[in-house]
Chain A
């Protein structure tokens, strides 16, 4: 299965950290950073996000490519919010823009980047199967974790099917446009994707049953809290404590 996951280039320090700690750290960090809005706290958050990506060994170019959709939205906010928010205005060149809007846009941009960088570093580089197993270990309802594991398994199957079908469409000269024909073609494409995907996945399920699959996965990876987890946990707690201190005192 082809994975959309980024390849790490540098030393993958974070990859050796227990996946359960990484999930807990990502959740805790996201919630805390989402709640704060003071510049100092957000600055620490952004630094921590950059550190997470660095420790995961991701190349800067790869990180920028991954964050492109987020940055597009942030750019929109930075351009529009200074004009729409109310309050005192300051002059930038010939324009009078809302000081409050400008601050708000900057805070959101920093916050969004901090959280997404941390998410990318902590979870984006984790094998999805490990993610599922770690969630099972964290007592997520087992049906939900199984659903995640099967979805990951079938993603590749359906993506291949999608590529095959769109290649076939392109060979026949299909060009999407805002018209009825495109809607109908896409509808048939989705129908075909579901029908074929269903058949293929049923065969996978049958093959798994042949090999003794009884509806649940046995957890073979037992993660252990190892030596590297101690500094990781300490750093996470330290960052979160620093953010809480800077925000709420």
Chain B
């Protein structure tokens, strides 16, 4: 979930809010620079597919009782993109802020960090498992990535809100609870998506940015 504009910095403790926003921007800049350096111009359009997919996935709503939550799938993004998740998520979140007024400009740094840092962690922790030959460990890795991506994101958001001041303790608890529920859903959805990709398009899972073209399957 996003940290909305205007929550940070909180006048109770403006220094902490400024440090959080600044650190969010600085770390996002570093991550984006690393991600971009590893990409060549040929790969940019492929990263853009995932960026756009991340945006569209957030339109998928999951009803839970009277409310609904939307999917994020930053764990899956990390598995597929590695460090490129930073620029991909930065662009997707910028477009969401500009087109849909979710999040904001000053909080773009911390919001990108909260989504992309767990994605990169998932890449290193579970990437080898998911790309492995054994289906069971691959799906277990996918479940772990889906849950870890969300839980880490929840922890970062909650920590940022906690540091912002005591008035937001309840908000950070609420956000943590939402992320915990989402973690379960994301784990299940990530497992199904990885299962699907392993069967249908294994090369996308193995090396999405260098996968061979399949132009012959064109339709429409």
Binding site for B on A (CB under 8 A): 4-5, 26-27, 30-31, 34-35, 37, 66-67, 69-70, 73, 77, 80-81, 84-86, 101, 104, 107-109, 111-112, 115-116, 119-120, 123-124, 126, 128, 131, 141, 143-144, 146-148, 150-155, 157-159, 162, 176-178, 180, 182-195, 197-199, 201-206, 215-216
Contacts and interface: CB of A to CB of B under 8 A. Distances in A.
Interface string B48-90: 1111110111011111110000010100100010000001101
Contacts of B47: 147, 150
Contact of B201 (A84, A116, A195, A204): A195
Contacts of B50: 194
B86 to A, nearest CB: 10
Contact of A180 (B55, B188, B201): B188
A47 B99 CA distance: 22
Contacts of A192: 196, 200
A108 B46 CA distance: 39
B134 interface: no
A190 B55 CA distance: 12
Interface stretch (B1-9, B114-122, B123-131, B151-159): B1-9
B215 A144 contact: no
B55 to A, nearest CB: 6
B170 A177 contact: no
Interface in B176-220: 185, 188-197, 200-201, 204, 208, 211, 213-215, 217-218
B67 to A, nearest CB: 11
B60 A189 contact: yes
Given A155-B55, A199-B214, A85 B99 contact: no
Given A146-B41, A178-B65, A201-B45, A155 B6 contact: no
A204 B49 CA distance: 11
A176 B192 contact: no
Contacts of B197: 191, 194-195
Contact of A184 (B92, B169, B188): B188
B44 A150 contact: yes
Contacts of A152: 95
B101 A151 contact: no
A195 B167 contact: no
B134 to A, nearest CB: 19
Q: In which size bucket is the chain B interface?
A: 35 or more
25 contacts: A30-B105, A34-B106, A69-B101, A85-B167, A104-B167, A107-B11, A111-B6, A119-B97, A123-B98, A124-B99, A126-B98, A144-B32, A147-B44, A151-B51, A154-B51, A162-B56, A176-B62, A176-B63, A182-B62, A189-B60, A190-B53, A190-B73, A191-B194, A191-B200, A191-B201
The 4 A-B residue pairs with the shortest CB-CB distance in the complex, in nearest-first order: A187-B192, A191-B196, A150-B48, A215-B41
B104 interface: yes
Contacts of A193: 53, 56-57
Contact of A34 (B6, B61, B80): B6
A147 B55 CA distance: 14
Contacts of B190: 187
Contacts of B59: 159, 162
B140 interface: no
Contacts of A112: 4-7, 104
Contacts of A177: 63
A151 B44 CA distance: 9
Interface in B1-34: 4-12, 14, 18, 21, 32-33
